[in-house]
Amino acid sequence: MQMTERVAPAVEDAPEAPWHPVTRSRSHELVLDQIEEQILAGTLRVGDRLPGERDLAGHLQVSRSAVREAIRGLEAQGVVRSGVGSGKDAGTIVSAMPSEALTRLLRLHVALSNFPLPDVVDARVMLERSSAALAADHAGEDDLDAMRAALDGMDSAGIGAERFNDLDTAFHVAIAEASGNRLVADMTIALRDSMRRPILHALEALGPDWEGVADQLRKDHRAIFAAIESGDGALAADRVDQHIRSAHAVLPFATHG
């Protein structure tokens, strides 16, 4: 069967954003819609296995390619995972990898400058303030250890900018993980990770001066850690706020153009 139809959409105009699509006809999108609908309706849950690609294609009356392309879309959103072979990990299974998907998505859009840098900074401040405040209340010994490891690593003599930046990221991630709020943590991580590369480039652009900046960052981190360790959420939030804003003020970000 060979088809390429056009469907007439029945759109109910919301007060915002009138118009909407018109192109909702590509068969792989229709397949995607059906699967998503089952997820939204609760028919498909985490751990459930989708029918085989060939079966699905047969039931939906589309080619296997269309089904596969739809699955790729879901995969990119961290909603399913596919495995070959048979048994346990085989087949296409609904699963939960929101963190990775969110990170990939934000990283790309930040790189494309779809979000102005000041907006990103403000968002980071907002998120990491919350993360730090929550972490001050919820952080367990494991969480604190992870932070200490990152801090100690950053103190290593002769550490390079790249390694330093990775550990810096790890420190912020550790705080987010300690917040106890999965969603806030994932958004925090995704945003910080999306800044990883830009920050590295900025550090490298500093040349020999980067050590001075690094020293300030080390001091900031230690101060933040102290506030979290002592359970002072408000103080931790303020220090994270100040840390992020001052860092972005000092770092020379390329305008990418």
Partner DNA sequence: GACCATCCTGTGGTCTGACCACACATGTGG
Partner DNA sequence: CCACATGTGTGGTCAGACCACAGGATGGTC
Angstrom distance (rounded) from CA 65 to CA 57: 8
**Which residue lies nearer to DNA by CB, 28 or 172?**
28
- Per DSSP, helices labelled H in the chain are 27-41, 53-60, 64-76, 98-111, 117-138, 141-155, 161-178, 182-194, 196-205, 210-229, 233-250
**Closest approach of DNA to the CB of residue 7, in Å:** 11
For 191-229, the three-class secondary structure string (H helix, E strand, C coil) is HHHHCHHHHHHHHHHCHHHHHHHHHHHHHHHHHHHHHHH
Q: Judged by CB under 7 A, how many residues of this single chain contact DNA?
A: 35
25 binds, among its own copies, DNA, none (CB under 5 to 8 A by kind): DNA
Phi, psi (deg, nearest 5) at residue 92: -100, 120
102 lies in the site for its own copies, by CB under 8 A: yes
Binder among 38, 63, 95, 99 for DNA (CB under 7 A): 63
167 touches its own copies (CB under 8 A): yes
197 binds, among DNA, its own copies, none (CB under 5 to 8 A by kind): its own copies
CB of 19 to DNA, least distance (A): 17
Decide which of DNA, its own copies, none touches 116; Cβ closer than 5 to 8 Å per partner kind: its own copies
Q: What span, in angstroms and rounded, lies between the C-alpha atoms of 74 and 54? A: 17
* Among 13-21, 85-93, 104-112, 218-226, the segment contacting DNA (CB under 7 A): 85-93
Binding mask 196-235 for its own copies (x = CB under 8 A): -x--------------------------------------
The Cβ of residue 221 has, within 10 Å, a number of other Cβ atoms equal to: 23
Best CA proximity match to 168, nearest among 102, 219, 134, 108:
219
Angle at 87 (CA atoms; ends 84, 92), nearest 5 degrees: 50
Class of residue 236 by CB neighbours under 10 A (exposed 0-12, middle 13-18, buried 19+): buried
Give the number of residues written for the chain.
Answer: 257
Q: In the bound complex, what is the minimum distance in angstroms from residue 249's beta carbon to its own copies?
A: 18
Contact call for residue 69 and DNA (CB under 7 A): yes
Interface with its own copies, residue 245, by CB under 8 A: no
Structure tokens at 33: 């819609």
CB of 63 to DNA, least distance (A): 3
Residues at the site binding its own copies, with contacts judged by CB under 8 A: 12, 14-16, 28, 36, 39-40, 42, 45-46, 65, 68-70, 72-79, 94, 96, 98, 101-102, 104-105, 107-109, 111-116, 119-120, 122-123, 126-127, 130, 146, 149-150, 153, 166-167, 170, 173-174, 177, 181-184, 186-187, 197, 256-257
